[in-house]
Amino acid sequence: MTAAWRAAQRWAVLLLVAALAACAGVLPQIERAPSFARPAATETPLGSVARDASIPPTLSGVRALPQAAFALDARMAMIEQAQVSLDVQYYVIGNDTTGRMLLRALRDAARRGVRVRLLLDDMHTAGMDPLLQGLAAEPHVELRLFNPFVHGREAPLLRLFALAADFSRLNRRMHNKLLIADGALAVVGGRNMADEYFLRSRQSNFIDFDLLLAGAVLPRLAQLFDLYWNSEQAFELGRLARSRDSRAELQTAFDSATRGDTFTQEPQQPPATDLYGHPPFSAELARRSFHFIAAPTSAFADAPNKGGALVGSVDATDPLAQRTFALLHEAQSEVMLISPYFIPGQAGLGHMREARRAGIAVRVVTNSLAASDAPVVNTGYERYRMAMLQMGVELFEVSPSRLKREKTLRSLLGNSSARLHAKIGFIDRRTVLVGSMNLDPRSVFTNTEIGVAVRSPELAAMIITAYKVDSLEGVYKVSLADDGTNLQWTALNDDTPEVLDEPPEASLWQRLQIFILSTVVPEALL
């Protein structure tokens, strides 16, 4: 190798480093004006829900939202009826029909005088700056981005360069999902605000779950929102993206982009009643007749600077995963976990082993390789599958084709595929855990999450019925083969059960991809 060639290589490396540094950019140094949740307005239509529903002051009202149409109806009704404040925190708001419908509803609320605070993780906002700037141009709207990209805001490819240049920071995302209206009602769960989370995508959709909450837990949820809103990780959109358009021009462009005749499609009205025989929440608001379960409810969230020193008095120093494991240790007879991405790691494996030694049944439902939208995660799951089965854990994997055997779900999905996205835990069928946290290393160690724990056998029974957890339709049961060293997949609820020796519905190419990825992707990134 000549001296000239070595010099050229050094210059190439220096240029690459400089390019990556330029892509990463430097976050602006700003002084944030703190703001805080407004107290619940008890005399507004939403503020009086807990009173009208006869929820005792020390308890929370909870309503299960397993069906997508009812979950979307509840959110839109809350936004449309809000009179004081809307605090909205999401990992994803899609640049699609659902996302634009939500943004327009927030704009309309702001024009009624409602204070709107929107906190959005910046990972999936590429190309959305003009739309978000149009919303932020409204007088009563405040919009902040969590852990934002400085450069490459319009192009996903440039964001990849920025991610590579500033990986330790940009790899940490806010995965929380929370909507609070008038300080009196909230929705917490797994759904982002995008088409596929409400069965509105023509390609693929998620089976998901939320809780509608009222009563005693609301001040705690508001406190957790404020913790993120006022954190050093939250930046005003205007500090990151500049526009040459005037405020009026931004508002006009937003109006055009979100009009019903140009992009936004109003969702179909939900059925007259849900799985439990209850009308949509919008109808209950109109009638002032509500169906809530009153139960003790706790809310938890990770610190915004997860893994760092927390500044302030809010109790969020213990990671959500640690609090979750502490609750699971309360089990006396049974633990059931539903998670789309499941990688227990050695620590999780230890928790399950301890439970099995105590005679506690452990059941896990997760996506099969064919169903997963992140098949690389299966490389981590597969590392622990044999060990879990050997200790007596029951494993079930969702099948995209078998899910569509259920008549109602088949009609809703149409030609689209389906996969699991709900994150639910059951402890002795008495305590229910719901939130944004997956059971994988990214949720445990890297991303921030939010969750609630509800101590209610009635709620547990309702959710178990909705998802047919006891009969488990639409899944394959994974078990050890007779030789004790290989696996079998058995399709449930068939007159003649189908038994397979290979992962069901997964192509040879998918299995080859997983094999390759398992050798190069570290578990900490899954």
Cite the active site residues. Answer: 175, 177, 182, 421, 423, 428
CB atoms near residue 347 (< 10 Å): 12
Query: 3-state SS string over 276-313?
Result: CCCCCHHHHHHHCCCCCEEECEEEEECCCCCCCCCCCC
154 and 126 Cβ atoms separated by less than 8 Å: yes
Give the Cα separation of 222 and 225 in Å (integer): 5
Residues in the chain, total: 526
If DSSP codes are grouped into helix, strand and coil, which group holds residue 78?
helix
If DSSP codes are grouped into helix, strand and coil, which group holds residue 117?
strand
CA-to-CA separations, 180 to 118, 217, 225, 420, in angstroms, rounded: 11, 11, 9, 25
> How are beta strands 394-398 and 361-367 bridged, if at all?
parallel
Among 173, 149, 154, which residue's Cα sits nearest to residue 92? 173
Cα 126 from chain centre = 19
Give the Cα separation of 261 and 265 in Å (integer): 8
If DSSP codes are grouped into helix, strand and coil, which group holds residue 470?
coil
147 and 169 Cβ atoms separated by less than 8 Å: yes
